[in-house]
A and B are shown apart, each in its own frame.
Chain A
Amino acid sequence: MEYTILLSILVLGVTAFISAVVLYLVSRKFAIPEEEKVSQIEEVLPQANCGGCGKAGCHDFAITCAHADAKTFSKLHCPVGGNEVMKKVAKILGFKPTVKEATVSVLRCNGTCQNAPAKIQYDGIFSCRVANKVSCGQTGCPTGCLRLGDCVKVCQFGALSIDKKTGIPVIDEDKCTSCGACVRTCPRQLFEIRNKSPKGNMVYVACRNTQKGAIARKNCKAACIACLKCNKINPDIKVENNLSYIPNTVSADDYGQELAQSCPTGAIIFTHCGDKKHD
């Protein structure tokens, strides 16, 4: 009995040792030398592997950076690390860092439980993508938030949460890295990455409904009815297909307050640095 046990330990031990030696030799022989720069860059990257930069993870981004020239490098940006990380990467490569404006993801829907009360009860799979196929959602708005939180599930940074009172997702601007995961996930394309103004303010139309005003308002009190009031304040604001859109070029610092106050339905939202309002 003892002999068998000892023998098996011996045999396995020897096999393991030989395999280890072989593996070591093979890995030395066929090792792919990694560029020093790549590993240096990779060290300063946030390692979120979110794909927000458009590359397949941080390692891929590091390789692209290492191979870039000054012109292509200026187009590369890590949204998670932001300007600070890009400064470090630029230092390693010896390029001039490009400074990008601060951005954050915003929800272009204000269809809260109060503004757009539920008309039906959905009891299918708890996923926006499925609900979007089955019907136009509890509220009756064919372009509004479905309130099932697919975006919350994909956010790696915990920046999104469903507000229990309003039913729609809320974005924590401090945590949001504008990686764009929510933008890609939302089946109704309700998220948009927007620039913050120098003072940290934002102004945007929180509605994507292209139905005529009267129909849209039936389902949601906060729908854009294309009344053109915002267009009169700043002619850069385009109103097409019964829907207004405020481009990033319209300064939130100068016009934000006025636009939000002028909107009769409350579809235009003006946020001061940090605090977000949905009522």
Chain B
Amino acid sequence: MTKLKTFPLGGIHPDKYKITTDSPIIDAGLPEIVYIPVKQHIGSPAKILVSKGDKVKVGTLLADADGIVSADVHSSVSGEVIKVESIEGEFGYLEDMITIKVEGDDFEPSIDRSTDINREIELSKEEIIAKIREAGIVGMGGAGYPTPVKTSIPENKKVDTLILNGIECEPFLTADDRLMVEKAEQIVIGAKIINKILGIQNAIIAIDENKPHAIETLSKITKTYVGVNVQVCATKYPQGGEKQLITAITGREVPSRKLPIDVGCIVQNVGTVFAVYEAVMKNKPLFERIVTLSGDACLHPANYRVRVGTPASFLIDKSGGITEKVSKVIFGGPMMGTAAFNINAPITKITSGILLLSEELSHKTEPQDCIRCGKCVEACPMGLQPYLIGRNVRNEKFSELAACHVLDCIECGCCAYTCPVHLPLLDYCKIAKSELKKK
């Protein structure tokens, strides 16, 4: 057996807890009220177009992209806008949101709701980019970078490889896994669409070896599509990181503070690619996504198809609610996600999971002094020295942080995971990054 591809430096093998791998995607249904934030992406918030009392349908444009690095926001339900104001968001800080009372489920007539698969790509490159922009698509892996910006290649750069990120290396999360099993062909067509924009012929779908169903389904389908191949990778966290994935697949290393495009690669999450397919072929804006509701304290773990703006508490109630066993609620994965301040916060385009963890898994041990074992250095996939960053932050020596290359940190949390004395190294790295960005 040949050795499976993976990135060379660092990485860890956390317990997988992929309990929802075999649960098919189910429709979460409609809540009574949705809260749609106008900023669900990196960049400037979108400009609000609707006002109180307006009637909207599923897919109606609510807010317009403000500038290039920004994205349109569409309504995910039909009904009446009852409030346009700041509401407590995920972290308790106020965010601009459009509150809509759900009435019925009317779609905009332009949206093609049939389930048949359109295979012919007839539009030109410019038309496709315009469609992606109008659909408000952003990177759905977690960063929320507007996709049209990512796929528009500057003239002096050249791209030769499109990588579809189906790694999903975070424990518990299975949203991408299920999507690849159930919408395999659509994802492959989506890859061909992005290929057309980039003007290249090949795409690689990278999947971790711990997803046998997805590998099997996609391998079968890609046989009929020239240029699209499945690449199985050895399981290691954080393989889903853009830079790690490029190194694993192509062997190229993205230089410090550069973008994947500088080494001729574009990485897109499979969820994003599916959204691109739906936008281009079905005229469907991005208003729903797959969310994994899981955790060891969750009574009925499942993968849901959720309308953007649905309060997280609606999903949690569907999965058995918050029981006595739940000690922490996390938005996102257990490694990179954040503890929720407000469980009524809405699901956004970039929420990939909601986890209900028990005391056992969320317990934090009191940190002790660094014993200089170097485990964090071994685990860091970016080759940084987290113990040194932590020490400089603790001693407030912010001037020395730039030399530690802390801005290259991808915040994967491997350092804190391996630390035998439970130092909050990731927290230190995050403080260091924000201190450096201040200057």
Contacts and interface: CB of A to CB of B under 8 A. Distances in A.
B92 A124 contact: no
A124 B431 CA distance: 12
Given A124-B424, A124-B427, A140-B88, A134 B93 contact: no
Nearest to A210: B94
Nearest to B363: A123
Contacts of B91: 134-136
B430 interface: yes
B431 A130 contact: yes
A125 B427 contact: yes
Contacts of B250: none
A136 B427 contact: no
Interface in B390-439: 424, 427, 430-431, 434
A125 B416 CA distance: 13
Interface residues of A, number: 14
A115 interface: no
Interface string A121-146: 00111000110011111001010000
A123 B364 contact: yes
A124 B430 CA distance: 12
Contacts of B427: 124-125, 130
A242 to B, nearest CB: 12
A34 to B, nearest CB: 29
Q: How large is the interface on B (under 10, 10 to 19, 20 to 34, 35 or more residues)?
A: 10 to 19
Contacts of B431: 129-130, 133
B118 interface: no
Contacts of A134: 91, 338-339
Contact of A133 (B88, B341, B364, B434): B434
Contact of B424 (A125, A129, A211): A125
B424 A142 contact: no
Interface string A99-133: 00000000000000000000010011100011001
A211 B94 contact: yes
A135 B88 CA distance: 11
A135 B424 contact: no
Nearest to B364: A123
Nearest to B434: A133
Interface of B: 88, 91-94, 338-339, 341, 364, 424, 427, 430-431, 434
11 contacts: A124-B424, A125-B424, A125-B427, A130-B427, A133-B434, A134-B339, A135-B339, A135-B341, A136-B91, A137-B92, A142-B94
5 shortest interchain CB distances as A-B pairs: A136-B92, A135-B341, A135-B91, A135-B92, A136-B93
